[in-house]
Amino acid sequence: MEKVTLTIDRIRVEVPKDYTILKAARSVNIDIPTLCYLEGINEIGACRMCLVEVEKAKSLQAACVIPVSEGMVVYTNTKRVREARKANLELILSNHNGDCNTCVRSGNCELQKLAKDLGVKEIRFKGNNIEYELDEKSPSIVRDANKCILCRRCESVCGNIQTVHAIGATDRGFGTMIKPAFERSISEVNCINCGQCIVNCPVGALREKDDTDRVWEALSDPEKYVVLQTAPAVRVAIGEEFGMPIGTRATGKMAAAARRLGFDRIFDTDFTADLTIMEEGMELLNRVKNGGKLPLITSCSPGWIKFCEHNFPELLDNVSTCKSPQQMMGSVIKSYFAEKNSIDPGKICTISVMPCTAKKFEAQRPEFSKNGYPDVDVVITTREFASMIKQANIDFAKLEDEVFDNPLGQSTGAGVIFGATGGVMEAALRTVYELVTGKTLDSIDFNGVRGIEGVKEAAVMVGDLEVKVAVAHGTGNARKLMDKILSGEKEYHFIEVMACPGGCLNGGGQPIVDAKTRMEIDPKVARARAIYEEDKDMPFRKSHENPMIKKIYEEYFKEPNSHKAHELLHTHYTKREKIV
């Protein structure tokens, strides 16, 4: 790579010629503030917080979009620069809803932090504050235009990364808003509820639908038997809400906190991740042996399922009929667990802690209800669960580790890695290989499907059969992969798709990491590292070796894909209108 030399704040810097001033400055630990900037997602220079002074240039330049050049001289901290940044910030604040104390992002708001860092003590400009109605119709996402600062980060991730295009800029000038077209609610368009708009918003203009009051109400009801399940990705992220480093494993503390909150039973969604592997693995084998529809595509990610229903209805027969681990757990709790413990399923309230806002949408789908009872009653995100722990004044960091309850709390490393992109595929391969060949794998780490590359491909020999697999994360990458399948360019046996970039680890309900930190630490990588470490520490690392999985088949389901298993653990999806 050809390099250029420039000077930033009197420091000689040599960087690749395709760097921007912002990236060059950060390479030598010179911090330039940003607000609209999000590396690799939104690099448009809209907010003007990153203004710098470039020698010989007539005007101040936006460091996030201006490329470096040989001999360039840059100043990032002159009086002119500081005054311009402060004035621009005051203009943004002039018509911003200022209810910071009650805002969901208070203390973790990039606008709030900038105001403090730049010494904004008063707003010299008075804007015309229009009060917009909240969009609360979605079961997953609340849109508050009163707090929007038009940074367009949400629009960029929704359109450019996810290729959903549920929201975008409408109108012009002071009337510009980021919202769905034609005055629709976000619930009335192709939104897949993935929540990537939320975790990429720098302020509180987008947030999840808060369901914590429903959980508190259930916990306070003496007639309710309240059961909690927690997803694999939650354990390696929730600690961040309590000041722990990104990627800290907090499985035991999470279980302890749940018990302090008063749940009657605390189960691990990893158990039904193992159950999913048994059902999905057998489904794959049946399709391969009996000429069924291939490739088989995973069905664990509700955002992906809705994306497929809108955009690729012709591939719905390829989607696994397995319910997601969340819905399987709800179904198992209200059937197997209820029967074993002589509990009326009508009195059981199942609560899920998920890294995913789309799980809220999934739980209320009519497909996931039996005998009038929904599989899952309430879904809360990792952030909402952390909020409940804080409301209960529990010192999370000081909790002693505890374990999940049996019988649905025992899981394997295969269940744990479901949270990472490639994890479902790897877990399935561990089991399918051994069930088909009757041989023990020499190495169960399938590194070919790991990592954060958008689309990964691998070929695995399972006995005499070469199984061709692919992994995609982020619906933009999934779209590219599906287009190649439909055109006949690619052929596979098995495909894993997760709606969110990085998989569930980077779901829309996970702790929000600000743009600056994300330039230094990639949460997807740090959380994945932790989840694979947990996998290695598990006594069992293959789903079919889980003693409780063996027991539930012996006592209840008899075998994978049995009539009873299909009745409780499987479903089908249907085409949805594509709204443009």
Scanning the structure block, which residue is given the tokens 């504050």? Answer: 129
**284 membership: H or E segment, kind and range:** helix 269-290
- Topology of the domain covering 213-569: Rossmann fold (3.40.50)
Quick check: is 520 catalytic? no
Residue 59 appears among annotated catalytic residues: no
Nearest of 480, 476, 471 to residue 453 by alpha carbon: 471
* Catalytic annotation, pick one of 138, 299, 320, 352: 320
Q: Is 578 exposed, middle or buried (0-12, 13-18, 19+ CB in 10 A)?
A: exposed
- Residue from 141, 146, 53, 50 nearest 103 by CA: 146
Domain ranges in the chain are 3-93, 130-208, 213-569
The pLDDT tens digits of the residues spanning 110-146 come to 999 999 999 998 888 877 777 899 999 999 999 999 9
Q: What percent of the chain has pLDDT over 70?
A: 100
Selecting among 53, 208, 240, 280, the annotated active-site residue is 280
Does 322 qualify as catalytic in the annotation?
no
Catalytic residue of the set 50, 148, 197, 300: 300
Instruction: Evaluate if residue 580 carries a pLDDT over 70.
Output: no
Question: Which pLDDT tens digit goes with each residue over 159-188?
Answer: 999 999 999 999 888 888 999 999 999 999
For the question of residue 158 being annotated catalytic, the response is no
Q: Are strands 265-268 and 225-230 parallel, antiparallel or unpaired?
A: parallel
> Which letter does DSSP use for residue 147 in this model?
G
Catalytic residue among 301, 504, 524, 543: 504
**CB-facing half-sphere around the CA of 58: CA atoms within 13 A:** 0
Q: Is 314 a catalytic residue?
A: no
The architecture of the domain spanning 130-208 is: 2-Layer Sandwich (3.30)
Q: What is the pLDDT of residues 415-455, one digit of tens each?
A: 999 999 999 999 999 999 998 889 998 888 888 889 989 99
For 67-76, how does the pLDDT look when each residue is reduced to its tens digit (9 = 90+)? 999 999 999 9
State the average pLDDT for the chain: 95
Q: Measured between alpha carbons, how far is 527 from 416 in angstroms, rounded to an integer?
A: 12
Active site residue 147: no
Q: Hey, do 3-93 and 130-208 end up sharing a CATH topology, with the first three levels equal?
A: no
Q: What is the pLDDT of residues 263-273, one digit of tens each?
A: 999 999 999 99
* Tokens describing residue 554: 């012996």
Which residues, 6 or more positions from 64, have their beta carbon under 8 angstroms from its beta carbon? 20, 21, 22, 34, 37, 43, 44, 45, 50
Angle 559-561-435 (CA atoms, 0-180°, nearest 5)?
65
- 335-347, pLDDT tens digit by residue? 999 999 999 999 9
State which H helix or E strand residue 213 sits in.
helix 212-220
**At 405, which amino acid appears?**
D
Task: Give tens-digit pLDDT for 20-36.
Answer: 999 999 999 999 999 99
Q: Phi and psi at residue 42, in whole multiples of 5°? A: -140, 105
Is the bond preceding 180 in cis, omega lying within 30 degrees of 0? no
Distance (Å, rounded) from C-alpha 483 to C-alpha 500?
Answer: 19
Is 283 known to be catalytic?
A: yes
Compute φ and ψ for 565, nearest 5 degrees: -60, -45
**pLDDT tens, residue by residue, 391-423:** 999 999 999 999 999 999 999 999 999 999 999
From the candidates 359, 456, 524, 542, which is the catalytic residue? 359
Question: Of 110, 283, 309, 384, which one is the catalytic site residue?
Answer: 283
Q: Which of 70, 83, 367, 559 is catalytic?
A: 367
In the beta sheet, which residues pair with residue 224? Answer: none
DSSP class of residue 369 equals E
- Residue 219: CB atoms within 10 A of its CB come to 17
The residues facing 381 across adjacent strands are: 354
Within 417-522, residue ranges assigned H as helices are: 423-437, 475-487, 515-520
> CB of 32 within 8 A of CB of 76?
yes
Assign domain 3-93 one CATH number from 3.40.50.2020, 2.60.120.620, 3.10.20.740, 3.30.2270.10: 3.10.20.740
371 Cβ partners below 8 Å, 6+ apart?
A: 345
Peptide bond into 407 cis (omega under 30): yes
